[in-house]
Amino acid sequence: MIECRHYDSFECRSCSLLEVPRARQLSDKEAHARSLVDSPVWLPTVAGDDAGFRNKAKMVVGGTVEAPTLGILDRDLTGVDLRDCGLHSPGMTAALDRIAAWIRTTALTPYDVRARAGELKHVLLTESPDSELMLRLVLRSTALEARVRSRLPELREAVPGLRVVSLNIQPEHKAVLEGEREIVLTPETTMPMRLSTGRTLWLGPQSFFQTNTFVAESLYEQARAWVGDLDVTRIWDLYCGVGGFALHLAGPGRQVVGVEASGEAIRSALDAQVAGAAFVAADATAWALEQDDVPDLVVVNPPRRGIGADLAGWLEHSGVPHVVYSSCNAVSLARDLALMPSLRPVEARVLDMFPHTSHYEVIVLLER
């Protein structure tokens, strides 16, 4: 078990299973997945490290101009500083310390939830496998944009790994992490995620990537291994994001179409320029229902709510021979599988994307 003074002092209990031995965490997750998904074969669970694994920090800014905190707000809406969180890599921790110091010297006023005053709401930091960083400052308005721009050289000198810096504008007084408007301040607008799988994904400020790089790589490798054993030439990757599955499955003699509602994610996917991979900005379900043909295999990687009745119904009646379903919520996965009785699990695997919590990823190969 890892030691955490914030957990011990009840300042932060986000790692709700921190006192549970890791082996027990894994066995409980496996048991939960098996109780919901009836697969004849369960591959060994992918665990990864139990500390220093997060590639992303989502920090609420609290405190004062003179002493800003980066972390969470307690029940009294007072800032709790979590810059030394053990889930972050050493590089992330060092960068957060320097960013906090820069916030103080730049006099970026933390947003006060109780008073509805101030500007800086969140600091969102992402680290690549090459130790490059993307920083997003979530502000209530553009009032401090000129000040941030003028002090940006000092920040980049203090944090040499910074590749992309942006302002996200979130003017509403509600518990929403970010707004729609993004102002990129650096010449670079995307950050490469060079994975050990041999593929590079490109992340824009609003792009989604799994928070655990090692487990994400294992997820893509598992899908690639399954598809490599099948006679598959045409694939759809629905809810493709920045193209994680599509880019790993595309190759000689194999065409993949990735579909994602986010235009920024699709632009990032196109930046990868992998032969055999094409991308469409559209609603995944609507796009699938509009097509006249059926591919050899469909990959679905939906949000926690699952794919829903419309897409599940289409998959059930489409005749598609194989589906790879990657899920961050085994409950919605089971609900969707019940709507597709003709597609049966062949193999499944749990991946511990979120150690010390009850959350996990599960990927299933379905065969008609």
Active-site annotation, residues: 328
Looking up tokens 């500083």, which residue turns up?
Answer: 81
Nearest to 322 by CA among 336, 348, 351, 342: 342
Does residue 164 contact residue 189 with C-beta atoms inside 8 Å?
yes
Looking up tokens 């203090």, which residue turns up?
Answer: 158
Looking up tokens 């921190």, which residue turns up?
Answer: 18
Helix orientation angle between 90-106 and 145-158, rounded to the nearest 10 degrees: 140
Nearest to 164 by CA among 138, 186, 193, 192: 186
Does residue 237 contact residue 248 with C-beta atoms inside 8 Å?
no
Q: Could you give the angle at the alpha carbon of 280 between the alpha carbons of 348 and 287, nearest 5°?
A: 75
Does residue 325 contact residue 363 with C-beta atoms inside 8 Å?
yes
* Pairing outcome for strands 181-184 and 255-260: unpaired
44: tokens are: 């060994």
